[in-house]
Amino acid sequence: MNAYDNKTALLKSVPRTVMDPPPDGLMYCTVLFLGANMRCILLGVIAAILVAVAALVLACAAITMSTMNKSEDETKRLEDLEKRFRNLEQQLNIQGGVEKPEVSEIRPGDALQISIWTSSGGRKYPAGLAADGNDNTHMYTNRHTNPWWCADLQDIYHIKRVVVTNRMHSEEAIRARATNLRVGVTSTRPQVGENLALDAYTLCEEKPGYMGPIGIVNCPDGVSGQYVIVQFQVANNHMHIAEVKIYGYKETL
């Protein structure tokens, strides 16, 4: 066997799978090609998803930051408004616009009552005895339906509180005449000797039943006038009280 024959024999011994494509070689290459492209597509899809997720995270972070900034801005805006309001309130206080004057006791310049009871010994108990600063002296009226006592403040005052002290040193049955206390304010002077209607004044408060040793009445804001009325809503009875203390402040125009 010469060299040519040897080469030929060697070529014939090479497997056909290396030298020649298999009968379905075209399909094999197509699968390889598509397989490579599918991996690329898959990698592309994964990359796109990652990019989308990253974009979503960034968007959420941006929205959160924006919301926080807006919240901080709103808080600062409210703080500024409150500061401006406080400054305005302070200015009004300085100008007397909303300043509430100090409440103090108002001493009446005069006092009157529906009638003056006179004892068998000729002793009289006028209205001034309920405004003399002495708890041991008291005013005293004849019997009336809804007897009244009145303090003349001789100027317009805002009335905030009235403290009525019952007659001292007497039997409980006598002091029990102080029943159904009513206190009010009016700018009309009541007439001595005349019954005073229950709606003849602005009522501060009424205390149903026995008043006890002391009756405390509060007046709502805005109640003002020159005359403070103390009245007992009773049928045909005497009125006798030791002291009336009035608290408020003077009207300023």
Catalog residues that contact Ca ion under the rule CB under 5 A. 129, 132, 134, 137, 242-243
Looking at the Cβ atoms of 121 and 133, the one nearer to Ca ion is 133
Sign of the Cα torsion 97, 100, 104, 105 reads: positive
* CA atoms within 13 A of residue 198's CA, in its CB half-sphere: 10
Alpha carbon separation from 197 to 45, 183, 191, 202, 253 (Å, rounded):
95, 13, 12, 11, 30
Rounded Cα distance between 85 and 99, Å, is 15
Q: Give the torsion through C-alpha atoms of 53, 56, 61, 64, to 10 deg.
A: -140
Residue nearest to Ca ion (CB): 137
Looking at the Cβ atoms of 137 and 195, the one nearer to Ca ion is 137
Shortest Å, Cβ 216 to Ca ion? 17
Shortest Å, Cβ 91 to Ca ion? 45
Rounded Cα distance between 104 and 134, Å, is 19
Shortest Å, Cβ 242 to Ca ion? 5
Owner of token pair 């159904």: 180
Looking at the Cβ atoms of 37 and 118, the one nearer to Ca ion is 118
Shortest Å, Cβ 133 to Ca ion? 7
Looking at the Cβ atoms of 127 and 242, the one nearer to Ca ion is 242
Shortest Å, Cβ 147 to Ca ion? 17
Helix (H) or strand (E) holding 80: helix 25-95
Rounded Cα distance between 141 and 232, Å, is 12
Shortest Å, Cβ 189 to Ca ion? 22
Rounded Cα distance between 38 and 31, Å, is 10
Looking at the Cβ atoms of 223 and 243, the one nearer to Ca ion is 243
Looking at the Cβ atoms of 160 and 167, the one nearer to Ca ion is 167
Rounded Cα distance between 113 and 228, Å, is 11
Helix (H) or strand (E) holding 28: helix 25-95
Shortest Å, Cβ 165 to Ca ion? 8
Looking at the Cβ atoms of 125 and 227, the one nearer to Ca ion is 125
